[in-house]
Protein backbone atom coordinates (compact mmCIF):
# COMPACT_ATOMS: atom_id res chain seq x y z
CA UNK A 1 0.00 0.00 0.00
CA UNK A 2 3.03 2.28 -0.25
CA UNK A 3 2.35 5.50 -2.08
CA UNK A 4 4.46 8.36 -3.36
CA UNK A 5 5.24 10.60 -0.42
CA UNK A 6 5.16 14.37 -0.83
CA UNK A 7 7.93 16.71 0.26
CA UNK A 8 8.79 20.41 0.15
CA UNK A 9 11.98 19.85 -1.85
CA UNK A 10 14.74 17.31 -2.49
CA UNK A 11 16.58 18.21 0.74
CA UNK A 12 13.44 17.63 2.79
CA UNK A 13 12.88 14.32 1.01
CA UNK A 14 16.45 13.10 1.55
CA UNK A 15 16.46 13.94 5.27
CA UNK A 16 13.04 12.42 5.98
CA UNK A 17 13.69 9.29 3.91
CA UNK A 18 17.02 8.76 5.71
CA UNK A 19 15.22 9.20 9.05
CA UNK A 20 12.49 6.70 8.13
CA UNK A 21 15.09 4.15 7.05
CA UNK A 22 16.80 4.59 10.42
CA UNK A 23 13.46 4.08 12.20
CA UNK A 24 12.79 0.91 10.28
CA UNK A 25 16.22 -0.47 11.19
CA UNK A 26 15.64 0.27 14.88
CA UNK A 27 12.21 -1.34 14.81
CA UNK A 28 13.51 -4.35 12.90
CA UNK A 29 16.14 -4.83 15.62
CA UNK A 30 13.55 -4.39 18.38
CA UNK A 31 11.09 -6.83 16.80
CA UNK A 32 13.62 -9.53 16.00
CA UNK A 33 12.34 -11.77 18.80
CA UNK A 34 8.78 -10.43 18.94
CA UNK A 35 7.21 -12.56 16.22
CA UNK A 36 7.31 -12.27 12.49
CA UNK A 37 4.33 -9.92 12.12
CA UNK A 38 5.41 -7.16 14.55
CA UNK A 39 7.64 -5.38 12.04
CA UNK A 40 4.88 -5.55 9.43
CA UNK A 41 2.41 -4.10 11.94
CA UNK A 42 4.76 -1.18 12.51
CA UNK A 43 5.19 -0.63 8.78
CA UNK A 44 1.42 -0.50 8.31
CA UNK A 45 1.01 2.05 11.09
CA UNK A 46 3.90 4.10 9.68
CA UNK A 47 2.13 4.12 6.31
CA UNK A 48 -0.77 5.95 7.97
CA UNK A 49 1.69 8.71 8.92
CA UNK A 50 2.57 9.11 5.25
CA UNK A 51 -1.09 9.15 4.23
CA UNK A 52 -1.78 11.88 6.78
CA UNK A 53 1.30 13.79 5.65
CA UNK A 54 0.23 13.65 1.99
CA UNK A 55 -3.25 14.88 2.90
CA UNK A 56 -1.70 17.69 4.95
CA UNK A 57 0.52 18.59 1.98
CA UNK A 58 -2.54 18.99 -0.23
CA UNK A 59 -4.04 21.37 2.35
CA UNK A 60 -0.75 23.16 2.88
CA UNK A 61 -0.32 24.03 -0.79
CA UNK A 62 -3.41 26.21 -0.40
CA UNK A 63 -2.13 27.79 2.82
CA UNK A 64 1.56 28.63 2.51
CA UNK A 65 1.93 29.50 6.20
CA UNK A 66 1.69 25.77 6.99
CA UNK A 67 5.05 24.90 5.40
CA UNK A 68 6.91 24.93 8.70
CA UNK A 69 4.43 22.56 10.28
CA UNK A 70 4.59 20.22 7.28
CA UNK A 71 8.40 20.06 7.34
CA UNK A 72 8.37 18.45 10.78
CA UNK A 73 5.17 16.41 10.47
CA UNK A 74 6.63 13.02 9.50
CA UNK A 75 9.52 13.07 12.00
CA UNK A 76 7.25 14.22 14.85
CA UNK A 77 4.47 11.74 14.16
CA UNK A 78 6.90 8.90 13.46
CA UNK A 79 8.78 9.65 16.68
CA UNK A 80 5.68 9.38 18.86
CA UNK A 81 4.40 6.37 16.90
CA UNK A 82 7.75 4.63 17.41
CA UNK A 83 8.02 5.43 21.12
CA UNK A 84 4.54 3.99 21.62
CA UNK A 85 5.37 0.94 19.54
CA UNK A 86 8.62 0.34 21.46
CA UNK A 87 6.79 0.74 24.76
CA UNK A 88 4.30 -1.90 23.66
CA UNK A 89 7.15 -4.30 22.87
CA UNK A 90 8.94 -3.75 26.17
CA UNK A 91 9.10 -6.62 28.65
CA UNK A 92 11.51 -7.77 31.33
CA UNK A 93 13.66 -9.64 28.80
CA UNK A 94 14.18 -6.80 26.35
CA UNK A 95 13.84 -3.69 28.53
CA UNK A 96 17.45 -2.57 28.09
CA UNK A 97 17.34 -3.03 24.32
CA UNK A 98 14.07 -1.14 24.05
CA UNK A 99 15.36 1.70 26.22
CA UNK A 100 18.45 1.87 24.01
CA UNK A 101 16.21 2.07 20.91
CA UNK A 102 14.15 4.88 22.41
CA UNK A 103 17.30 6.77 23.41
CA UNK A 104 18.79 6.45 19.93
CA UNK A 105 15.47 7.42 18.40
CA UNK A 106 15.29 10.57 20.53
CA UNK A 107 18.83 11.61 19.58
CA UNK A 108 18.26 10.94 15.88
CA UNK A 109 14.98 12.86 15.93
CA UNK A 110 16.68 15.83 17.58
CA UNK A 111 19.34 15.80 14.85
CA UNK A 112 16.75 15.54 12.08
CA UNK A 113 14.80 18.44 13.56
CA UNK A 114 17.97 20.53 13.46
CA UNK A 115 18.62 19.64 9.83
CA UNK A 116 15.05 20.51 8.84
CA UNK A 117 15.27 23.79 10.73
CA UNK A 118 18.40 24.64 8.74
CA UNK A 119 16.48 24.07 5.50
CA UNK A 120 13.72 26.41 6.65
CA UNK A 121 16.18 29.11 7.65
CA UNK A 122 18.04 28.84 4.34
CA UNK A 123 14.80 29.01 2.34
CA UNK A 124 13.53 32.03 4.29
CA UNK A 125 16.82 33.84 3.72
CA UNK A 126 16.64 33.14 -0.03
CA UNK A 127 13.08 34.46 -0.18
CA UNK A 128 14.04 37.60 1.75
CA UNK A 129 16.98 38.27 -0.61
CA UNK A 130 14.80 37.81 -3.69
CA UNK A 131 12.15 40.12 -2.23
CA UNK A 132 14.80 42.75 -1.43
CA UNK A 133 16.19 42.53 -4.97
CA UNK A 134 12.70 42.89 -6.42
CA UNK A 135 12.01 45.99 -4.31
CA UNK A 136 15.30 47.63 -5.30
CA UNK A 137 14.83 47.09 -9.04
Do the beta carbons of residue 52 and residue 77 sit within 8 Å? Answer: yes
Residue spans of the domains in the chain: they are 10-136
pTM: 0.83
Least confident of 60-69, 80-89, 128-137: 128-137
DSSP string, 49-87: HHHHHHHHHHHHTT-GGGHHHHHHHHHHHHHHHHHHHHH
**What integer pLDDT is reported at residue 13 of this predicted model?**
94
**What integer pLDDT is reported at residue 125 of this predicted model?**
64
pLDDT digit string, tens, across residues 24-34:
999 999 998 88
pLDDT at 3 over 60: no
pLDDT digit string, tens, across residues 93-134:
999 999 999 999 999 999 999 999 988 887 766 655 665 666
Amino acid sequence: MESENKYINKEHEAIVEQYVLYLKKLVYFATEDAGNMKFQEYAEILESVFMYSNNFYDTMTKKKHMVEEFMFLIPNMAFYLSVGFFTGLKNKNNAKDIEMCIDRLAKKTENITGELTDILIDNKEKIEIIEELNIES
